[in-house]
Amino acid sequence: MFATFYPILFLFILAGIIAGVFVFLSIFFGYRTKLGRKGDPYECGLKPQGTTKDPVPIKFYLVAILFILFDIEVVFLYPWAVISRKLGLFGFTEMIVFVIILLVGYFYVLGRGALKWE
């Protein structure tokens, strides 16, 4: 009965291999620095020390708002993925159209420069 779980085991092994390869590659090709923010305990752009009332740069909010949108839209991919075989080519083209509409939004965001960090 364990045979049904082999694909999952395979997935775990694959995930482990990929993660390991990336860690390994970054040791060889990565650019390493010991300066500046890199040494901070919490290196996500926020100052680790100081008052908590400091205003956070607006860029964080912007990215968060965009993330909500694109993240939630993916929810429509799940039901499609479950029955994508049954839906066949028609379902596939519909999904392509949906993704194109999402892409329009993405291109708009790019064109307005909302994802530029500097």
Partner 1 sequence: MISISSYVIVAAVLFGIGTLGVLISRNIIILFMSLELMLNAASLAIIAFSRELNVIDGHVFVFLILAVAAAEAAVGLAMVITLFRNKETLNIDRFNLMKW
Partner 2 sequence: MDLTSASINFSIIYPEISLLIAAALILVSVFHKSANRIAPYIALIGIVVSIAMIFKQWGHQESGFFGMITCDSFGVTFKLIFDVTALLSLLIAHRYMISKGINRPEFYALLLISTMGMMVMANTTDLIVIFLGLEIMSVPLYVMAGFAKRSLWSSEAGIKYFIMGAFASSFLLMGIAFIYGASSTTDLRRIVADFHFIMSNSPAYMLTGMALILVGFGFKIGAVPFHSWVPDVYEGAPTPVTAFFSVGPKAAGIAALLRIFIFGFANVMMLSTVFWVLAVLTMSVGNILALKQNNIKRLLAYSSIAHAGYILVALTVGGNDAISAAIFYLVAYIMFNLGAFAVVTLMETRSGCKSDFSELVGLAKVHPYLAAVLTLFMFALAGFPPTAGFFGKFYIFSAAIKSGYIWLAVIGMLNSFLSVYYYLRVVKTSYFDSSDKSFIPVKYSLSIIIVLVITVIGTLGIGLFPQQFLNWSQSALFAFL
Residues interacting with partner 2, by CB under 8 A?
A: 87-88, 90-91, 101, 104-105, 107-108, 111-112
Task: Out of 19, 68, 82, 83, point to the residue binding partner 1 (CB under 8 A).
Answer: 68
Smaller CB distance to partner 1: residue 9 or 77?
Answer: 77
Q: Which two tokens stand for residue 56?
A: 């956070």
Region of 1-9, 22-30, 37-45, 72-80 interacting with partner 1 (CB under 8 A)? 72-80
Nearest to 104 by CA among 75, 80, 70, 78: 70
79 binds partner 1 (CB under 8 A): yes
Smaller CB distance to partner 1: residue 27 or 64?
Answer: 64
Region of 4-12, 25-33, 64-72, 95-103 interacting with partner 1 (CB under 8 A)? 64-72
CB of 66 to partner 1, least distance (A): 8
For the chain, the distance separating the N- and C-terminal CA atoms, rounded to the nearest angstrom, is: 55
Q: Which residue has the tokens 């708002």?
A: 65
What's the rounded Cα separation, in Å, for the pair 22 and 29?
10
Q: Which two tokens stand for residue 12?
A: 């775990």
What's the rounded Cα separation, in Å, for the pair 48 and 64?
20
Q: Enumerate binding residues for partner 1 (CB under 8 A).
A: 58, 61, 64-66, 68-69, 71-73, 75-76, 79
